[in-house]
Amino acid sequence: MSRPTAISFAEIKAPQRGTLVILAEEGGKIGAAAKALDKKAGGIITRAMKVSQFKGKKGNVLDLLVPQGTTLARLLVVGAGALKDYSEIDWLNLGGVMRSKLTGREGTEAQVIVEGASARPAIGANDVANLALGAWLRGYTFDKYKTSGNNDDNGSKALKKLVIQCKGAGAARTAFKRAKAIGDGVDLARDLVNEPANVLGPVEFAKRLKLLSKIGVKVEVLGPKALADQGMGALLSVGLGSRKPSQLVVMQWRGAGAKSRAKPVAIVGKGVCFDTGGISIKPSAGMGDMKGDMAGAACVAGLMQALATRKAKINAVGIVGLVENMPDGNATRPGDVVTAMSGKTIEVLNTDAEGRMVLADALWYAQKRFKPQAMVNLATLTGAVIVALGKEYAGLFSNNDELSQRLTKAGEVTGEKLWRLPLGPKYDKLIESKVADIQNIGGRMGGSITAAQFLQRFVNKDVAWAHLDIAGTAMDAPKTDTNQSWGSGFGVRLLDRLIADNYEG
293 sits near ligand BES (criterion: CB under 6 A): yes
Cα gap 295→301, rounded to integer Å: 10
- Residue 356 among the catalytic residues: yes
347 lines the binding site for ligand BES (CB under 6 A): no
Stretch that binds ligand BES, among 345-353, 406-414, 421-429, 495-503 (CB under 6 A): 345-353
Distance CA 179, CA 386 (A): 30
Specify the DSSP class assigned to residue 182: H
Chain contacts with Mn ion (rule: CB under 5 A):
275, 352, 354
Chain centroid, CA 473 distance in Å: 9
Q: Which of 24, 114, 179, 272 binds Zn ion (CB under 5 A)?
A: 272
Q: Which listed residue (167, 356, 406, 457) is catalytic?
A: 356
- CA dist 490 and 427 (Å) reads 28
Distance CA 450, CA 448 (A): 6
CA 419/CA 405 separation, integer angstroms = 10
Q: How far is CA 180 from the centre of its chain?
A: 13
Q: Which of residues 337-366 bind Zn ion (CB under 5 A)?
A: 355
CB nearer to ligand BES: pick between 154 and 448: 448
- Find residue 464's DSSP bridge partners: 374
Residue 293 touches Zn ion, criterion: CB under 5 A: yes
CA atoms of 392 and 380, how far apart (whole Å): 14
Site string for ligand BES, 118-157 (x = CB under 6 A): ----------------------------------------
* Contact call for residues 277 and 268 (beta carbons, < 8 A): no
Q: Are 356 and 346 in contact (CB under 8 A)?
A: no
318, interface contact from ligand BES, Mn ion, Zn ion, none, CB < 5-8 Å by kind: none
- Which residue from 106, 195, 275, 361 is in contact with Zn ion, where contact means CB under 5 A? 275
Which of Mn ion, ligand BES, Zn ion, none does 79 bind, CB closer than 5 to 8 A by kind? none
111 vs 72, 87, 133, 161, CA distance in Å? 11, 23, 15, 8
Is 282 annotated as catalytic? yes
Phi and psi at residue 353, in whole multiples of 5°? Answer: -95, 65
Catalytic residue among 160, 161, 282, 313: 282
Given the complex with ligand BES, which of 37 and 193 has the nearer CB atom? 193
Give the nearer residue to ligand BES in terms of CB position, either 185 or 472: 472
Catalytic amino acids? 282, 356
Q: Which residues make up the interface to ligand BES (CB under 6 A)? A: 275, 293, 350, 352-355, 380, 382-384, 441, 447, 471
Q: Which residues make up the interface to Zn ion (CB under 5 A)? A: 272, 275, 293, 355
